């Protein structure tokens, strides 16, 4: 079974700020990337063009999550899909999610814990 990782906004922005190619990291690990439409909307609202350009250049699955609050929607999705790895650096979300999570070590290394 193919492993999948769901990315949230702060994870994407942090990777871009620290020049981490998360798409390549996940691709090399055989992990498919999922990005909620709400996250893409947040990036558009924040006018994060570097992030949006990176998304345009790479392959990922776009999903629709229910709910107005993006973080709560991701937590709900994670609980309903325990096999999905969640890539968030948000401490509150990390506490609520029991799934495997992605973290960034030494500002350069993506690690699944």
Q: What pLDDT sits at residue 44?
A: 95
In the CATH hierarchy, which fold is given to the domain comprising 3-112? Answer: Rossmann fold (3.40.50)
Rounded to whole angstroms, what are the CA distances from 32 to 27, 48, 70, 73, 91? 7, 23, 21, 20, 24
pLDDT in tens, 13-72: 999 999 999 999 999 999 999 999 999 999 999 999 999 999 999 999 999 998 889 999
Model's pTM, two decimal places?
0.93
Q: What pLDDT sits at residue 67?
A: 85
Q: Residue 1 above 80 pLDDT?
A: no
């Amino acid at each position: 079974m193919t492993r999948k990782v769901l990315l949230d906004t702060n994870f994407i922005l942090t990777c871009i700020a620290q020049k981490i190619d998360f798409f390549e990291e996940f691709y090399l690990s055989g992990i498919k990337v999922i990005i909620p439409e709400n996250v893409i909307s947040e990036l558009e609202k924040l006018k994060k063009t570097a992030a949006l350009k990176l998304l345009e250049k790479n392959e990922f699955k776009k999903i629709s999550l229910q709910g107005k609050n993006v973080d709560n929607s991701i937590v709900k999705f994670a609980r309903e899909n325990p096999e999905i790895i969640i890539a968030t650096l948000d401490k509150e979300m990390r506490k609520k999610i029991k799934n495997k999570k992605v973290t960034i070590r030494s500002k350069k290394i993506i690690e699944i814990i």
